Amino acid sequence: MPTSLLVLALSAFAIGTTEFVIMGLLPEVAGDLSVTIPAAGWLVSGYAFSVAIGAPIMALLTARLPRKTALLMLMGIFILGNLLCAVAANYGLLMLARIITALCHGAFFGIGSVVAASLVPANRKASAVALMFTGLTLANVLGVPAGTALGQIAGWRSPFWAVTLIGVLALIGLWSVLPRKHDEEAVDMRKEVAALRNGPLWLALATTVLFSAAVFALFTYVAPLLGEVTQVSPRGITWSLVLIGLGLTLGNILGGRLADWRLGTTLAGVFATMAVVSTVLSWTSASLIPAEITLFIWAAAAFAAVPALQVNVVRVGGAAPNLVATLNIGAFNVGNAIGAWVGGSVINHGLGLTRVPLAGAVLSVLALIAVMIAFSGKPNQTQPVLD
């Protein structure tokens, strides 16, 4: 794999860390800025909504730029946003800084995944995208716990200073090692917009939304599930999240290789596995060891779909790879919000935490149905059109 992919993975690590690290520092942020915990929580939601809304906007604004130039500009916005987070004097400025940071998120992952796939032969495109997204999974395994610990020791602003530094290193790396051919590539905006009239594209995006909703219906409430049902201590929950993060990383790597082999089969297998494992978790959550094993398998299965879903949208929207790949990142975030709402509705209706995994299973089945429709009559279609 080219060195450029490692730089893209480093960029993904920085972006993933800055998105999620604040979740572990909400009490510190709320106390320092004199707001409530729920108000501080909107810093997480505000980021996600900004990704979903900003992704297509930034994709269109950067459409006429060469891809390398677009990535450098987006990383510059990311650095500026984190710097503003680190120096924000009040809640309003911090929210604005989070919104600015989020603007680069969807477009960077969208354009970056297209660039990653273009750096390798046709039979390794999904693996290349998976390597880039490994940075995102490592952000959950290493970046978020380390950033949380740093914030608790040196103040909640310190992780944003650290991520700003990582962003600068990523910017230098992108400028130095990304092949020059991406300096020469520009995108026809009319073709990008025209691609949105493609029906199969919207089915592919809907599949991503359903997948992400299935994941976050459970993932959003995995800590209370472990704490109240499995009776895991707060420290034990931290280690459980690390275990889940390892599963996500393993699944991301394996998923890229499987998608290179057979894209539709991989997606169908992942969603079927998620449905079964989520259902099993509703029973195994009562015991520690079975619950941990089930969650690890679930995490590995879930993230095996991420690189496959990214190449899936470009498979049907290859005429506008930048825009459709970016829209898919927005679809992930829309699914995140829907999944959290579905899981919360299960709890609010008094069905109990053990029924939350079942909600994820139902959404996984819906994603499976969408894949079966999309790939019906095309059993051997494995490679997307990426250039």
Question: What pLDDT digit, counting tens, does each position of 228-281 carry?
Answer: 888 888 778 778 878 888 888 888 888 877 877 788 888 999 999 999 999 999
Most confident of 102-111, 148-157, 193-202, 295-304: 295-304
Instruction: State residue 195's pLDDT score.
Output: 64
Q: How far apart are CA 47 and CA 353, in angstroms?
A: 26
Instruction: State residue 308's pLDDT score.
Output: 84
pLDDT band at 381 (very low <50, low <70, confident <90, very high): very low
Q: How far apart are CA 367 and CA 268, in angstroms?
A: 8
Which structure tokens are listed for 37? 């915990």
Residue 66 or residue 193, greater confidence: 66
Domain ranges of the chain: 3-186, 193-374
Instruction: State residue 384's pLDDT score.
Output: 39
Lowest pLDDT segment from 191-195, 338-342, 360-364: 191-195
**Helix 144-154 to helix 158-177 angle, to the nearest 10 degrees?**
140
379, amino acid identity: P
Which structure tokens are listed for 195? 């691609």
Question: What pLDDT digit, counting tens, does each position of 347-373 carry?
Answer: 878 888 899 999 999 999 999 999 999
Q: How far are the Cα atoms of 2, 36, 38, 103, 225 from residue 77, in angstroms, in the given order?
A: 25, 29, 27, 8, 37
Instruction: State residue 326's pLDDT score.
Output: 77
Q: How far apart are CA 159 and CA 85, in angstroms?
A: 10
Question: What pLDDT digit, counting tens, does each position of 93-121 carry?
Answer: 999 999 999 988 888 988 888 888 888 77
Q: How far apart are CA 200 and CA 196, in angstroms?
A: 10
Query: Distance between terminal CA atoms of the chain?
Result: 17
Instruction: State residue 359's pLDDT score.
Output: 93
193-374: same fold as 3-186? Answer: yes
Which structure tokens are listed for 259? 């998608």
Q: How far apart are CA 370 and CA 239, in angstroms?
A: 35
Nearest to 149 by CA among 139, 159, 163: 159
Instruction: State residue 192's pLDDT score.
Output: 63
Residue 225 or residue 237, greater confidence: 225
Nearest to 201 by CA among 103, 319, 369, 307: 319
Q: What is the CATH number of domain 193-374?
A: 1.20.1250.20
pTM: 0.74
CATH topology assigned to domain 3-186: Growth Hormone; Chain: A; (1.20.1250)
Percent above pLDDT 70 for the chain: 90
Angle subtended at Cα 88 by Cα 86 and Cα 89, rounded to the nearest 5 degrees: 135
Instruction: State residue 380's pLDDT score.
Output: 42
Q: Is the pLDDT of residue 64 over 80?
A: no
